[in-house]
Structures are given as C-alpha cells and as structure tokens.
Amino acid sequence: MVEIIGVTQHNARPQNGGVLTLWLYCKAVGRVWWALMSCAAFTALGVYVLYTNKSNQWAVRATFALSGLFLLVACFVAWLEEHRNVETHEAELRRLKLQYFGERPRVTFAVKAPRTVEEWRQLESVVPPPMFRLEHSGGRVARFVKIDPVQSLSGRFRLQFDQAPVLNDGYRQQQAITFTVYQNGPVSDLSSSADILRIQQGVNMLLQFLRDHPLREKESVYDITVRYHDQDGLQQYIEQFALKCLNERMLLSVEPNLLASSVPN
C-alpha cells in the first residue's frame, strides 16, 4: 500500500505542475487579450460598418476575426515577456558563472573595531578579539590567504595574523582572522620559552601595539599586505590596504591601496 501511495503522489506532481503552468500562461494571455479587446479597434470597426452599410452578419464575422487576431497577438506578447525574462535570468546566470568561475578571486581586508573606551574594555576578556576580518569580495575560491606581519611605528611590537587556508564563505561574507602581538622578538623563532612568554593575543597587547608610535602623531598608518592564491594554487595575488588609527580616540579604519592592489605575483 505504501508503494502505491508513493507512485500516485509521484505521478500527481507533474500534472499539478503542468496545470499550474497552463494556468499562468492563460492568465498572462488573458491579461494582454483583455487590454486589446478594450482598445478603440472595435469602435473603429463599428464606425466602418455604419459608414459602409455592412450587414449584421458581416459585422459579427469581422468582430470574431478581430478578436481572434487579438488573441494571437496576446499569445505572442505573453511569450515575448516570458522570453525576455528567461534571457534576463540567463544573462544573470552567465554573469554569476563568470564572476565565480571565470574571474580571479578577490579578497578585502576589513576591521570591526571598538569606537569607545567602554567597548575596548568589553573586549579585554575576549582572546583574541574578533576585530580583523577577511572578505571574499568576488571571483573564484581564494586559497592560502595570509597577511604579512605588521611592525609598530616605533618598532617595539609586531602584529601577525593567522593564515586562512580557504576563503569562500560566500559573496560579501566576512571571516574573522585571529592575530598575535609579539614584543621584542622575531616572528618566526618561537622555540624558546622566552619567546613564548612575549606572545599575547589580548586587546591590551593590541593597544600597546597601537600606542607604540612617535609623540604628537595624530594618526598612525600601517601597511596591510594580503597574499593569496587562486583555486589551483599556482597564481598568487597581492592586495594592499592602509590600516589607519586616530591615536587620540583609538579609532581604526581600513582603506584600500588601489595603486598597489590586485598585482599578480
């Protein structure tokens, strides 16, 4: 019995779909046909019948003929509207395929930083704070995404970001990037316990990094270099951004470096 019910439901779905499609087509044709039937063509036909003194039989035949002609026109208009809709959707599909499969990947660096002292304090317990983000802004999948280490302006600290193996969370979707602040030590040599003790990921260490700048500097600017590969792993691309900090209020912002970005390497 279960198998019979399943077969009946399976066969009913195409029929319901076909009836619905036919109903939508008739509705589209009827809308155009009603507009044509309400036009001044039948008024002109009536004037012509009176002027030429045609018979009633001829007038009825002419009316049905004109109605049939309008029905054909309505069918064509309904088909043309749907044809244009299909062309529009196909063009959009081609654009999306070109963007995601035919274009190289594009990556954007962004920051979502606190704007008040209270917001900075709220992040003290979050290690590391989810402030820096990478965005898949178009093209194919970006792989092996990494950001070059950034030196503080006075040279006492270094900011290093973790690598993102794959960046493809969807168009305009952002992915948080964790970071580490190093003090007075090389970035690559982390073998000794002294180097490990110098590593901190909290917001307090980040604030020390941002405050490590020459006196009287109202704004600090840090060069951010993002390197990533295409999905085949062969072609490498470079995007460069400027991380800016208003030192008095500790406001962070990011601007693209258009002259140096999108350079294949």
pLDDT in tens, 88-111: 998 888 777 766 666 778 888 998
Of 60-64, 100-104, 193-197, 249-253, minimum mean pLDDT range: 193-197
pLDDT at 265 over 80: no
Each residue's pLDDT tens digit, 207-226? 888 889 887 778 999 999 99
- Chain-centroid distance, C-alpha 173: 7
pLDDT at 91: 86
For 217, the token pair is 């500097």
Q: What mean pLDDT is predicted for residues 101-124?
A: 79
Q: Is the pLDDT of residue 164 over 50?
A: yes
Which stretch, 15-24, 207-216, 256-265, has highest mean pLDDT?
207-216
Contact criterion met (CB below 8 Å) for 128 and 179: yes
Q: What is the pTM of this model?
A: 0.55
pLDDT score at 77: 87
Question: Which is more confidently placed, 68 or 101?
Answer: 68
Model confidence at 8: pLDDT above 70? no
Of 231 and 253, the structure prediction assigns the larger pLDDT to: 253
State yes or no: pLDDT of 13 exceeds 70: no
Handedness of CA 165, 169, 170, 176 (dihedral sign): negative
* Per-residue pLDDT at 224: 94
Residue 127 near residue 204, CB atoms below 8 Å: no
pLDDT tier for residue 127 given thresholds of 50, 70 and 90: low
| pLDDT value of residue 190 | 43
